[in-house]
Chains A and B, each alone.
Chain A
Amino acid sequence: MNIFPRIVFVLLGLFIVLNWGLIMAGIIRKIIARLGMRRGIKVFQPYINLIKNYSIRSQLSHGVMFYLGPVFRLSGGVGIFLFMPLIYGSDYWSNFSFTGDLILITYFMFFGMLGMALGAGEGGHPYSAIGISRGLAQFTAIEVPMTLAILSIAIQYQTLSISEIVAAQQGGIQNWTMVTNPLATIAAMLSFLGAMGHSPFNVVMAPQENPVGPPTEYHGTFLGVLQTNRAILHVIEAVLYMNLFFGGASNWGVLIIKTFLIYFWSVFVGMVFPRFRVDQSIPWFLKIPLVIGIAAIVVFII
């Protein structure tokens, strides 16, 4: 396909993913409220919050990096999106995916956090610094089982292209990585809990403990950019897991159902288990998920 139609489809895909992210956030908040026997927010409340934040009249800046922090965070989220094939078998919805996109996407997952660390650090608030150090330490621990799981799949399918991994899983549930490589799936789904930042692993931004972590000083449009990124990131990370472990999607309906269920897994665990301290969560990732991740690789080497 020519470059210009492709750019149009990439922007259209980004628009759909952003809107699905916002609606999904509303639905999840509604479900959590009903579990707590409340009526809860309106489903479209995330949209209203976003409009409100973009309409704040006065903004303060603490320096150049403070401006660039949300920009880096957003480019991390959009970067993952750009190289992610969304719909299997569709040339229109495969974005800019290429043969080594799996490596690039794992890099982009850390990129946004590092940019945010520099920006929030310049904000100068002590809670930002505490949140950042906790967040980076915890995400480093999350990456270990996740990388092992991804390596295990790369060895299994002998490729680093997400499209080829999805293609290899076609033909029914019995071909999904979930069935053919359960160890890697378990390790990755446990690290997914940490990546989504729900309850057991949300000490980074917990309002009751270090209000509210890295974005303490961010307000108005800065916060709006961070919220936009959050909506994109939640969907696109669920799409990554869907492509790697759950057979990909052949149309948008399947994509929406699968990403919702994958994301809901982290919400479900979050509703059941209380919050870990950071000195509990890091050893947790370096125990069970790490051992399962190593086992997933050893199985294929033997």
Chain B
Amino acid sequence: MSEKKQTEQDKFLAPENKKHTVIGPDGEEIQVDPLNDYFCTDLPKVEAPYKGVLEKFLNWARAESLWVLSYGTGCGSIELPPLFSPRFDAYRFGVAMRPTPRQSGVLIISGYLAVKTLKRVIRSYEQMQNPKYVIALGSCTINGGMYWDSYNTINRLDHYLPVDVYIAGCMPRPEAILAGFNKLKERIKSGNAEGANEYIEKLEWYKANQKKIIKDWNMPTYNW
């Protein structure tokens, strides 16, 4: 990274993330560069899928066991809890909520996405493991919806994350979300839902888009 770019990035870093000196227990001075010392700076690699029947079988298992990250961004998050009530019962489709991004495979962007939230969404998405899918809920994620000229929401989600399934509506009802889950299942079973690898292949483009919007980028390039 060039010197100028580095100083530009440092401008947005939180004080504890800038290079600083720490006094050790015996009085020795230790130079700390948090972004390089505390975080993994490696970039991810493309994980090629298997071929033939094996991959088809694994894709079937992935499609029948969708673990969704319990994370809501906009007004659509209120449509998610009823999915697990007796009336809609998403469990029968193999859908379950997981409270940690490490164990989940599906990220639902439920409605408008503020710039501040986009940063958290990117961190959560990058912490999920390789076969991972994004469902975009509501018209706000397609073209901005009623927030299209707002000063602090993004308009098109697929400039920032690879989206597998869009569910249109403002807001989509739980039935529409269930239909979206079934659409996602079809896509996974057909072997086309390779969003995670696509994100890694086009990482530079996605990162450029993300950094254009997020002015206070005080985190490593890729959040493992």
Task: Produce 1/0 per residue, B83-105, CB < 8 A to A.
Answer: 00010010110100111101101
A52 touches B92 (CB 8 A): no
Min C-beta distance of B62 to chain A, whole Å:
5
Q: Of B44, B64, B92, B105, which contacts A40 at CB under 8 A?
A: B92
Q: What residue of chain A has the Cβ atom nearest to residue B54's Cβ?
A: A55
> Does B172 have its Cβ within 8 Å of any Cβ on chain A?
no
Stretch at the interface among A42-50, A144-152, A266-274, A293-301: A42-50
> Which chain A residues lie closer than 8 Å to B102 at the CB level?
216-219
Min C-beta distance of A225 to chain B, whole Å:
13
Min C-beta distance of B55 to chain A, whole Å:
9
B64 touches A41 (CB 8 A): no
Min C-beta distance of B78 to chain A, whole Å:
17
Q: Of A40, A51, A59, A60, which contacts B61 at CB under 8 A?
A: A51
Task: Produce 1/0 per residue, B185-202, CB < 8 A to A.
Answer: 000000000000000000
B91 touches A58 (CB 8 A): no
B91 touches A38 (CB 8 A): yes
> Which chain B residues lie closer than 8 Å to A58 at the CB level?
44, 47, 129-130
> Does B145 have its Cβ within 8 Å of any Cβ on chain A?
no
CA distance A49 to B64 in the complex (A): 8
A220 touches B129 (CB 8 A): yes
Q: What residue of chain A has the Cβ atom nearest to residue B61's Cβ?
A: A51
Q: Contacts A48-B61, A52-B61, A218-B103 known; A57 to B129 CB distance under 8 Å?
A: yes
Q: What residue of chain A has the Cβ atom nearest to residue B57's Cβ?
A: A51
Q: Of B47, B70, B89, which contacts A38 at CB under 8 A?
A: B89
Q: Contacts A56-B131, A220-B129 known; A40 to B89 CB distance under 8 Å?
A: yes
Task: Produce 1/0 per residue, B40-60, CB < 8 A to A.
Answer: 000010010100000001100
8 A Cβ contacts from A131-176 to B: none
Q: Contacts A52-B61, A55-B58, A212-B98 known; A223 to B103 CB distance under 8 Å?
A: yes
> Does A3 have its Cβ within 8 Å of any Cβ on chain B?
no
B130 touches A51 (CB 8 A): no
> Which chain A residues lie closer than 8 Å to B64 at the CB level?
42, 45, 48, 52
A33 touches B44 (CB 8 A): no
Task: Produce 1/0 per residue, A257-299, CB < 8 A to B.
Answer: 0000000000000000000000000000000000000000000
B61 touches A207 (CB 8 A): no
Q: Contacts A49-B65, A216-B102, A223-B103 known; A56 to B129 CB distance under 8 Å?
A: yes
Min C-beta distance of A125 to chain B, whole Å:
8
> Which chain B residues lie closer than 8 Å to A57 at the CB level?
47, 49, 129-131
B130 touches A56 (CB 8 A): yes
CA distance A215 to B100 in the complex (A): 10
CA distance A215 to B102 in the complex (A): 10
Q: What residue of chain A has the Cβ atom nearest to residue B100's Cβ?
A: A216
> Does A211 have its Cβ within 8 Å of any Cβ on chain B?
yes
Min C-beta distance of B37 to chain A, whole Å:
15
> Does A36 have its Cβ within 8 Å of any Cβ on chain B?
yes
Q: Contacts A36-B86, A56-B130 known; A41 to B94 CB distance under 8 Å?
A: yes
> Does B224 have its Cβ within 8 Å of any Cβ on chain A?
yes
> Which chain B residues lie closer than 8 Å to A60 at the CB level?
129, 224
Q: Of A48, A211, A217, A219, which contacts B65 at CB under 8 A?
A: A48
CA distance A42 to B94 in the complex (A): 8
Q: What residue of chain B has the Cβ atom nearest to residue A47's Cβ?
A: B61
8 A Cβ contacts from A53-87 to B: 55-60
Min C-beta distance of B198 to chain A, whole Å:
14
Min C-beta distance of A53 to chain B, whole Å:
8
B44 touches A51 (CB 8 A): no
> Which chain A residues lie closer than 8 Å to B91 at the CB level?
33, 38-41
> Does A1 have its Cβ within 8 Å of any Cβ on chain B?
no
A41 touches B92 (CB 8 A): yes
> Which chain A residues lie closer than 8 Å to B47 at the CB level?
57-58
Residue positions of B touching A, CB distance < 8 A: 44, 47, 49, 57-58, 61-62, 64-65, 70, 86, 89, 91-92, 94, 97-100, 102-103, 105, 129-131, 224
Q: Mind listing 28 A-B residue pairs with CB under 8 Å?
A: A37-B86, A39-B92, A40-B92, A41-B92, A41-B94, A42-B92, A42-B94, A45-B64, A45-B65, A48-B94, A49-B65, A51-B65, A52-B61, A52-B62, A52-B105, A55-B58, A55-B131, A56-B130, A57-B129, A58-B47, A207-B70, A211-B100, A212-B98, A212-B99, A212-B103, A218-B102, A218-B103, A219-B103
New A-B pairs, 5, CB < 8 Å, besides A211-B100, A217-B100: A40-B91, A52-B64, A59-B129, A207-B98, A216-B102
Residue positions of A touching B, CB distance < 8 A: 33, 36-42, 45, 48-49, 51-52, 55-60, 207, 211-212, 215-220, 223
* The 5 A-B residue pairs with the shortest CB-CB distance in the complex, in nearest-first order: A211-B99, A57-B130, A57-B47, A58-B130, A51-B61
